[in-house]
Amino acid sequence: MVDIETTGLRWKTDRIVELAVVRTDSEGRVLAELSTLVNPERNPGATHIHGLGAEDLTGAPRFSEVLSELVRHLEGAVLVGHNVKFDLAFLAEELGRLGHEMPGAPRVCTRELAMRVLPALGDYRLASCCKALGVDGGHEHRALDDARAAAGVFARLSASGFWRTSYDRELDEATRLVWPVVEGPSRLAARGEGAASAEPSPLGVVVESLPEGASNGSVEGYHALLDEILEDRRVTDEEAAAARQFLLGAGLARADVLSAHRSYLTGVARAALALDLGGGLGAADLARVARLLGLPTEAVDEALATARSGAAAPSPGATRPLPAGTSICFSGEGEPSKAALEARAVAAGLRVQPSVTKKLDVLVIDDPHSMTAKSQKARQYGIRVLTVPVFLSLAKAPDKQ
């Protein structure tokens, strides 16, 4: 079973950001699994779908570094996937960039099988097929979960006999196929193991440096500082140093700040829920903020639960609004589309600009680690930079500001 996540839909120009292989026997029993992030050597593209930002892929292996292990898992196998033509087209393109040719391995598409076995289903997305067949779909648009889901769907559909009749012939063809010889060790990195993800958060380091216990100090001013530091979803060493100076000056201890960080994350979760960003965009943003605050991954679920309970929490960005008349520009190709974001800005009374100049007030980027010309120029000019979720939470109609 093969599954990939990509920067977009065009295999000629887009790149792979994650791939997974689940090798099974004819009964669907798992024999081996491979899962790794892949550095696309460009912006990650459809982050709202696959949930991977540039910082997740920084330091991830390039396709050339995972190829030998990938070939080892694919050799001698019939290639199965949900809309498998899509996955194999990207793999062929990546192989071609390295001077290799993709073998014409026998392949089976679980989507096409489902259309034969379940003609009345109508919706043949992987998640829908899983639901119809009682297969655990896992987390959608995560390569390993999708590959496992496809394996489950394939096992259920194979029981109908549509493909098992030709199993011996196709397997024999697969075992005789010659794959490219790729020498050298592989380097793999699963989700959460990218270089940026593994590095300690500068704010987390600050928290660990504070005195243990709690104090009677107020964190109110600290929430305002977090608004300023986190609105571009990056924390520089200089910003972390400023936070440490503030916290020490306020006499705050480690427990105070950890509580403030959890409360702030709850506020971010509440904003995401209010904007209906609980899926890809909101989930990725919450995970990013938790990481920047030095909180464990389980803090995200806790923040969502607390936000749903209606508990009090700060409103992120409340101290740094977007007044009517603010000039604003957008960079990136994610979702929501640039056109939709510009329409939102106009409705909020903001002045949309086509380019970044020294007179611009705000630039909105679709990825905190964006390296577009606009984002580089904005940081060079000292222009305020927001990520899309922050912009959406701040862009309100003039009569609601």
Give yes or no for a cis peptide into 336 (omega within 30° of 0). Answer: yes
- In one-letter notation, the amino acid at residue 306 is T
Helix ranges restricted to H, 37-101: 47-50, 54-57, 63-74, 84-97
- CA 321, 322, 324, 327 dihedral sign is positive
CA-wise closest residue to 328 among 392, 281, 277, 276: 392
Instruction: Return all residues near 149 (Cβ < 8 A) that are at least 6 apart.
Output: 82, 126, 127, 130, 135, 136, 137, 138
Element (H, E) at 139: none
The three-state secondary structure class of 193 is: coil
Backbone angles phi, psi at 59, to 5 degrees: 85, -5
Please list the active-site residues. Answer: 141
CA-wise closest residue to 305 among 278, 266, 279: 266
Backbone angles phi, psi at 328, to 5 degrees: -145, 145
